[in-house]
Chain A
């Protein structure tokens, strides 16, 4: 298989660089800087040090024995990204991009955040590297993730509410891109998922691939073979691509990406791009997009802020059309049930995003044989969601 993206940042028909002229030079500069640090030993060593001592890598691969027994099928392994510093996989990318920002001699970073996990991960590395950080967040997300707003501010970042459109992740990205267009000379846009114009989807995939590389080694060492199937939730698509990519050439390994089914596909209130979307251009990239027949971007819904986004990383669209990765969706209700299942079966409270992957495991494992291995990416922990879930259940805290 050829290496993707090609030199134009394309994964087949997907990807590319659909940005205003003002940003084109910055994107090309970023691409060149990234190519440089990729081959730079000192940079890579420093990144390894940060991942080990600050992030806490490698994260464990955990055999979920009770859940396996309860479901009565495949052996379930969890890649514990919830144990990363700040509680999600997002920091794998932010540490690397913060280092890159320093290399590019920029002093300010901006970012978008949905669930607040990426925002917290940015605020954290900004504090660690002494960078100024401004985080854009939809006001609807600020409400449902109030705890993370406080964390970002505690870490010294500015959190700017975005009160446009659906007041969620999409609108936060719009505003971050406008800020970047205005302050491009001094500012690096620290994008949080495998989205946006080239080189972001490639670069963030590479930074998150540490998940899959570790998982591959770990499963080979404990089980002596590759898993039968990988499962991960897909918002923008970074934790899933991070897990899947190092297995992509292992054609016997199946891969399932789980999108947010919201109130169900038929309701129209969801964020399942591969069920309701078609190719289009948003935020600098050509990819599957939830849109109406006039090309206006649809409002999305998910109980999980981190999955509530109308587009998906272009590389996912590529593997979708190729049939290499299978995509499915899980409703709010199923995800909330899975949130309880993992908490009570394994003593791990998952992020609502990750609970979507858990729900798919709950569906899939019983259909598989006992000697088969199902490896799921537990992208984050659920502390940030506890308050929201209590509210939804009318439980006063």
Chain B
């Protein structure tokens, strides 16, 4: 029997960034909004603009962790006929062109419906690196974990929230791979982030315990905020703000080149010191 060793692009990316003293820019887009062809162009543009890892939302009919912006993006994606299988094909074709780490953000039922083992095998062969499942706490993750082990990936990235107890922090730190997704606020995606001091305190406490990268998401929309968060976090996730931007402007002829500029600005904002 021979074991396939999967080079974990997520880990490698964070290692490289650390060596360069940089922070990770992690944009989130909804796959299939407005179409999967557009998703492919968006991923390439974001990567060219300096995105270090990219989260691809898998649309679900009942996204309980998402605010209106991402809910509506999911509705549009489903209406355009997006399915998990088609997203996997998109990843396959993207992998010919880019090695940027790709992470699926999917609700559990969408991968459960495909079969955990079947999904993991397809995902790893297509080139998906990580999974963020907002409705799968560590307590319920054993079966998916087994499937990822048997298939040789993708890795599961768990979330921590402001409400997480220290016991839960330990559990998540033990189980997460690649990085820890710290939810900056007690709420859903697209809410307004107001209390950065508290975020900083929590992230630093987690970093001290974890010795794993901590990326912060939810409520970060401007380069200024991204800059502030990057002063202490290892990565910054930008979701709703980007999803809204894509929805409002994707028909402009100059949209992709503008997006590349915006992305570059964000990446620069992460790098600049105060």
In the bound complex, residues from chain B placing their C-beta under 8 Å from that of A19 are 135, 137
Across the interface, name the chain A residue whose C-beta is closest to B85.
A294
The answer to whether A21 touches B183 (Cβ under 8 A) is yes
Within the complex, which residue of B84, B108, B110, B164 is in contact with A18, where a contact is CB–CB below 8 Å?
B108
A26 at the A/B interface (Cβ < 8 Å)? yes
The answer for the CA separation of A281 and B183 in the assembled complex, in Å, is 22
Looking at the assembled complex, report how far the CB atom of B208 sits from the nearest CB atom of chain A, in whole angstroms. 19
B139 at the A/B interface (Cβ < 8 Å)? yes
The answer to whether A280 touches B65 (Cβ under 8 A) is no
Looking at A92-100, A102-110, A179-187, A219-227, the stretch in contact with chain B turns out to be A179-187
In the bound complex, residues from chain A placing their C-beta under 8 Å from that of B160 are 21
Looking at the assembled complex, report how far the CB atom of A297 sits from the nearest CB atom of chain B, in whole angstroms. 5
B224 at the A/B interface (Cβ < 8 Å)? no
Looking at B8-16, B56-64, B146-154, B245-253, the stretch in contact with chain A turns out to be B56-64
B165 at the A/B interface (Cβ < 8 Å)? yes
In the bound complex, residues from chain A placing their C-beta under 8 Å from that of B223 are none
The answer for the CA separation of A282 and B60 in the assembled complex, in Å, is 11
Looking at the assembled complex, report how far the CB atom of A298 sits from the nearest CB atom of chain B, in whole angstroms. 8
In the bound complex, residues from chain B placing their C-beta under 8 Å from that of A23 are 163
In the bound complex, residues from chain B placing their C-beta under 8 Å from that of A8 are 139
The answer for the CA separation of A20 and B191 in the assembled complex, in Å, is 16
The answer for the CA separation of A126 and B186 in the assembled complex, in Å, is 25
Chain B residues touching A, majority SS: loop
Within the complex, which residue of B84, B109, B135 is in contact with A291, where a contact is CB–CB below 8 Å?
B109
The answer for the CA separation of A171 and B61 in the assembled complex, in Å, is 10
A326 at the A/B interface (Cβ < 8 Å)? no
* Most chain B beta-carbon contacts within 10 A, residue among A282, A283, A289: A282
The answer for the CA separation of A243 and B55 in the assembled complex, in Å, is 47
Looking at the assembled complex, report how far the CB atom of A285 sits from the nearest CB atom of chain B, in whole angstroms. 10
Quick one: CB contact mask for A147-191 with B, threshold 8 Å, 1 for yes?
Answer: 000000000000000001100001100100110011011000000
The answer to whether B113 touches A293 (Cβ under 8 A) is yes
The answer to whether B62 touches A181 (Cβ under 8 A) is no
The answer to whether A24 touches B164 (Cβ under 8 A) is yes
The answer for the CA separation of A295 and B87 in the assembled complex, in Å, is 14
The answer to whether B188 touches A182 (Cβ under 8 A) is yes
Q: Which of A269-325 contact B (CB under 8 A)?
A: 280-284, 289, 291, 293-297
In the bound complex, residues from chain A placing their C-beta under 8 Å from that of B188 are 178, 181-182
Number of A-B residue pairs with CB-CB distance less than 8 Å in the complex they form: 113
A16 at the A/B interface (Cβ < 8 Å)? yes
Please tell me the size bucket of the interface on B: 35 or more
The answer to whether A21 touches B172 (Cβ under 8 A) is yes
The answer to whether B159 touches A20 (Cβ under 8 A) is yes
The answer for the CA separation of A28 and B78 in the assembled complex, in Å, is 34
Within the complex, which residue of B64, B111, B168 is in contact with A21, where a contact is CB–CB below 8 Å?
B168
Looking at the assembled complex, report how far the CB atom of B206 sits from the nearest CB atom of chain A, in whole angstroms. 12
The answer to whether B109 touches A25 (Cβ under 8 A) is no
In the bound complex, residues from chain A placing their C-beta under 8 Å from that of B107 are 281
The answer for the CA separation of A283 and B63 in the assembled complex, in Å, is 10
In the bound complex, residues from chain B placing their C-beta under 8 Å from that of A184 are 163, 186
The answer to whether B65 touches A181 (Cβ under 8 A) is yes
The answer for the CA separation of A164 and B84 in the assembled complex, in Å, is 22
A17 at the A/B interface (Cβ < 8 Å)? yes
In the bound complex, residues from chain B placing their C-beta under 8 Å from that of A297 are 61-62, 109
Across the interface, name the chain B residue whose C-beta is closest to A296.
B61
The answer for the CA separation of A174 and B70 in the assembled complex, in Å, is 14
The answer to whether A21 touches B158 (Cβ under 8 A) is yes
Looking at the assembled complex, report how far the CB atom of B145 sits from the nearest CB atom of chain A, in whole angstroms. 15
In the bound complex, residues from chain B placing their C-beta under 8 Å from that of A280 are 109, 112-113
Looking at the assembled complex, report how far the CB atom of B264 sits from the nearest CB atom of chain A, in whole angstroms. 32
Binding site for B on A (CB under 8 A): 8, 16-26, 164-165, 170-171, 174, 177-178, 181-182, 184-185, 280-284, 289, 291, 293-297
6 contacts between A and B (CB under 8 A): A19-B137, A26-B163, A281-B108, A281-B109, A283-B62, A295-B109
Given contacts A18-B135, A178-B64, A295-B111, 20 further A-B contacts (CB under 8 A): A8-B139, A17-B140, A20-B161, A21-B163, A22-B162, A22-B187, A170-B62, A178-B66, A181-B187, A182-B187, A182-B188, A184-B163, A184-B186, A280-B112, A281-B108, A281-B135, A282-B109, A283-B62, A293-B113, A297-B62
Q: What are the 6 tightest A-B residue pairs by CB atom distance, in nearest-first order? A: A295-B113, A22-B161, A182-B187, A295-B110, A295-B109, A296-B61
